[in-house]
Structure 1
Amino acid sequence: MANELKQTLCEVRKAYRLIYLYQRSVLSTIERFASEFVDSVFYCWNPTHYSSPPMRSTNIHQRRCWDLIPFYLTAVFYRYSKGDIEKHPAGDWLLELNVVTDSAALEKFEARNPQPDPCDFGPPEDSKTKIIVAMWFCEKEATFNWYNQSEKLKYPDDEIMRYEIPAGLICVKKEYQLEELGSEPQIVAAASDFKTFLNTHIPHRKW
C-alpha cells in the first residue's frame, strides 16, 4: 500500500509539472491568436462551468474541488479597444477564447452535473482539447455590460446566433483543436481562418 501511494504521489508531481507547461503554452497560444485582432485588448477571464479560486479567507472545504482547477475549462476575453464596456456603439465587439482542456469534462458539466467525477470521463484518448473561438458583435447601439451579458447568453447551436435581448447582439463561433495550434504559423493561420469566417457572417466590417 505504501509503495502504491508513493508511486501515485510521484505521478501527481509529474502531472502538476506538465499542467504548468500546458497552461503556459495555452496562454501563449491564445495571446498570439488575439494579437491578430490588432485593436483587441485584454478584458477579463473566468472559469466557464465552476467558480474561480476563492479568497484566502474562504473555507475551501466548503467549495468544490473544481474551483481550485480554474484553467481546466476557462474563457479569456479581449474587447475592442475603441469600444466601451457598458455603452456600445454599433460595431463594438468582444472576442472570447474558450479553453476546453477535456471535452469529456465539458459534456459532464453541460449535463448539469455540478461535481463530475473524472473517473466517469472515459478514456482520455477519446476526448479532445480544443479552443472555442467566439465573436460577440453589436450590429447597433446597445447598453449592457460585456462580462455580465456573455455569462448569461448561450453559444449558437450552429455557427451564428442573433439575440433579441439585447437587441442587435450577434455571436459567431468556431472550434479549433489545440493539437493543430502547435506553432506560430498554425496559430496565425487559424486566426486568419476565423477572420474569413467572420467576413462571411458579419460583413458589416472587414476583419
Structure 2
Amino acid sequence: MPNSETDDLFIQVRSASRLLAAYYQRLLPTLAQIAKGLNVDFYTWSPKEFTRPAQLTTSPFERWGWDMLPALSTYYVFKHVEDNNKVRVGEYLVEFLVNSDSAVMSNSNNGSEPNALSLSTSVDEAKSTLKISIYAPYKDSEKNWHYGMWNTCPNFPATQDPNPMQNFDSEAYYSSFEVPLADVMEDGAVDVLVSRAQEFIDVTVARAKYFSTEPA
C-alpha cells in the first residue's frame, strides 16, 4: 500500500476514534439524565453482540476485533430495587439497549467473526436505535435481579404503546419501546423519553401487581 494511502487510512482511524469518543461523551450523559428523571439507579451493563475487551491475563490476540468495541451494541440496566437479591412485586428494572449499528450481529456469520468491511447491510441502510425496556415481577422471590430476573427474560419486540407481556421464566411482565438514536440527541428529548418511559413503567408495574393478587 503506498504511503499516501497508509496515511489516509490512519487519518480515518484517528478521526473515527475522536468521533466515537464525542458520541459517547454525549450519549452516556443523556442516558444518565433519562435515568435520573425516572428515579432509577445504575445496576449493570453488558455488550449485547460481543464480549468485553480481554481481561488482564487473557490474550486479546485470541479474541475478535469487535470485542474492542464493547459499547457498539450495549445493555445499560438501571434499578428501582431495595435489595439486589430479593425480587419484590412493585419494584422494577429499566433497560437501555443502545444499538449503534443494526448491521452488526455476532451470529450473522455462522460463528465466525463478521468482516467489518463486507457487512450485508450498508452504513446508509443500517439503523441506530435506543430501546427502553421495563421488567416488573409479579411474584416475590429470593432471586438475584440480574441473573434470576433480567438475564432470564428474552428480548421481546418493542411496541408503540404499553402492552406488557408475561414471561414465566422470569415471573415478570415486560414492555418496551424503541426510538432512533438521532431523536435521543435532539433538544428536549430527555423530557419526552422520561415521560414515555414512565408511562411504560406505570402500566407494566400495575399489570404485575394486578396479576400477583389474582387467585392461583
Mapping 1:129-140, distance limit 5 Å: 129-140=128-139
- Are residue 173 (structure 1) and residue 176 (structure 2) matched? yes
Which residue identity does 1:92 align to in structure 2? E
Aligned to 2:25: 24
- Computed over aligned residues only, the root mean square deviation of the Cα atoms, in angstroms, reads 2.0
Secondary structure of the residue aligned to 2:34 is helix
Residue identity opposite 1:178 in structure 2: L
Q: Is 1:194 the counterpart of 2:197 in the alignment?
A: yes
Equivalent position amino acid for 2:114 in 1: P
Letter in structure 1 aligned against 2:65: C
Which residue matches 1:8? 9
**Alignment-mate amino acid for residue 197 of structure 2:** F
Give 1:116's match in structure 2, choosing from 96, 103, 114. Answer: 114
2:190 match: secondary structure: helix
Distance 1:143 1:36 in 2: 28
1:58-105 per-residue CA deviation (whole Å, 9 max, x = no partner) reads 111111111111110111111114x32121111111111111010111
Distance 1:55 1:201, change over 3 A: closer
Matches of 1:165 and 1:112, distance apart in 2: 29
Alpha-carbon spacing, 1:174–1:25, altered in 2? closer, same or farther (3 Å): same
Corresponding residue for residue 101 of structure 2: 102
TM-score (norm 2): 0.84
Shift of 1:110: 5.2
What's 1:144 paired with? 143
| Cα distance in 2 between the residues matched to 1:178 and 1:158 | 15
Residue 167 of structure 2 aligns with which residue?
Answer: 163
Provide the residue aligned with 1:78 in structure 2: 78
The answer to whether the 8 A contact 2:176-2:200 is kept is: no
| Structure 1 match to 2:211 | none
Matched residues in 2 for 1:121 and 1:96: separation?
A: 28
Q: Distance in 1 between matches of 2:202 and 2:84?
A: 24
CA deviation after TM superposition for structure 1 residue 158, in Å: 5.1
C-alpha contact 1:155 1:161 (8 A) present in aligned 2 = no
CA deviation string 1:160-207 (max 9, x = no partner): 32111233x1111111111111245212112212222343444359xx
Does the CA contact (< 8 Å) of 1:91 and 1:140 recur in 2? no
Equivalent-residue separation in structure 2 for 1:117 and 1:85 (angstroms): 39
Letter in 1 for 2:115: D
CA pair 120-183 structure 1, distance change in 2 beyond 3 A: closer
CA shift digits 1:27-81 (9 cap, x unpaired)? 011111111112x111111111211112122111111111111110111111114
Q: Any gaps of 5 or more consecutive residues in structure 2?
A: 209-216
1:143 deviates by: 2.8
Cα distance in 2 for residues equivalent to 1:15 and 1:152: 36
Give the conservation status (yes or no) of the 8 Å contact 2:47–2:73. yes
Question: What fraction of aligned residue pairs are identical, expressed as a percent?
Answer: 20
